Amino acid sequence: MTTFREYRENPEASAPKDDALKALPRDAWAIQGERAGFISRTVAAGIDVTLIFLTVLGTVAVLWMLSFIIDPTSASAPMADGQGDRVPAIGVMILYGYALNWFYWTVCWATSGRTLGNLVMGLRVVNFRGEHMRWGGSAVRSLFCTTFPFGLLWVIVSGANRSVQDVVLRTSVIYDWTFALPKLRGALGGRRDEIGPAQPS
Measured between alpha carbons, how far is 17 from 171 in angstroms, rounded to an integer?
29
Give residue limits of the domains in the chain.
Answer: 33-180
Asked whether the beta carbons of 109 and 125 are under 8 A apart, the reply is yes
- The span from the CA of 172 to the CA of 54, in Å, is 28
d(CA 175, CA 21): 13
Measured from the Cβ of residue 131, the count of other Cβ atoms closer than 10 Å reads 18
**How far is residue 48's CA from residue 20's CA, in Å, rounded to a whole number?**
26
Tens digits of pLDDT across the chain (201 residues): 334 344 445 444 434 445 555 556 666 666 777 899 999 999 999 999 999 999 999 998 888 888 778 776 665 544 444 445 677 888 999 999 999 999 999 999 999 999 999 999 989 999 988 887 999 999 999 999 999 999 999 999 988 999 999 999 999 999 987 755 444 344 444 444 444 443 444
User: Distance between CA 15 and CA 58 in Å, rounded?
Assistant: 46
The partner residues of 125 in beta bridges, in order of sequence, read: 173
Round to whole Å and give the CA distance between 100 and 110: 15
Pairing of strands 172-175, 123-126: antiparallel
User: What are the pLDDT digits (tens) for 166-181?
Assistant: 999 999 999 987 755 4
Dihedral sign for Cα atoms in the order 29, 34, 38, 41: positive
